[in-house]
Amino acid sequence: MIVDLISLLFVGIRLEQEFGCVRVGCIYFLSGIGGSLFSLLFIENRVSVGSSGALFGLMGAVVAEIVPNWSKHEGKCPTFATLGVIALLLFIIGLFPHIDNFSHIGGFLFGTMLGYVFFIRPHFDWSKYPMAPHNRITDFTIDSSRKMCKMFLWVVIVVLLAVLYLVFMVLAFRGVNGNDHCSWCRSFSCAPSSHWNCGGGSNSHSICKYMIRGTTMLLTCESNQRSQIYSGTFSLSSIKEFCDELCS
């Protein structure tokens, strides 16, 4: 939480001073929703709360604003380095249990696209005015070819955002589990380790898949993907005990 607050101060103040609270607030809110929708596809049995997804959205928006206007930004390399350190730190923290890294990833992806939508600038042909200050643009001509390219990309991203929000909402309401299609993706939000239980802790129910043939059972823990074969007769309570042991 402290890291989130410090990061939000660093990123949010700079963006609000340059673009205003309305546009920054829209990106913060919408990227938070996008990160939560993305998280729902992979984390179904736990409640996830927090502002990290929206914070990653603001960092993605900074990237989307700087890259297309690379030649007009001063201090871009230190900014990228600082954002990289913050993002890497929060991502590593997200590898521990009970931290929703999928919200971070989804928030960053949505924030990057939203940043291009809300922070788009006209591309001025600075080469015609090499000695002119870049903060005075009233008398400058606009590079029409680059402007058209930017506007076309802007429309594409707006359509893509609308489609992604709609698709993710439909998949979430239908209960689609992304882990069924990407078994290793769960490691992004909880790295397998002998020091913790990715199934949710000792007070939660471990989740396992099992297949019984005669007196043999193949049991697979969904949180760490460990599998083991058991022999004997099995009841629901014994399967649960084996599952808790396998997932611990």
Q: What are phi and psi of 199, to 5 degrees?
A: -75, -5
Cβ neighbourhood burial of 78 (10 Å; 0-12, 13-18, 19+): exposed
Tokens 């993710």 appear where? Answer: 168
Residue 120 structure tokens: 């788009």
Of the residues 52, 103, 206, 223, only one is catalytic, namely: 52
Catalytic residue status for 52:
yes
Of the residues 104, 123, 206, 223, only one is catalytic, namely: 104
3-class SS at 231?
strand
Given a contact cutoff of 8 angstroms between Cβ atoms, the answer to whether 224 and 247 are in contact is yes
Closest residue by Cα to residue 208 from 237, 176, 240: 240
Catalytic residue status for 104:
yes
Which distant-in-sequence residues (6+ apart) come within 8 Å of 179 by Cβ?
Answer: 42, 185, 186, 222
3-class SS at 203?
coil
Residue 87 structure tokens: 């993002």
Closest residue by Cα to residue 94 from 105, 85, 83: 105
What are the residue numbers of the active site?
Answer: 52, 104
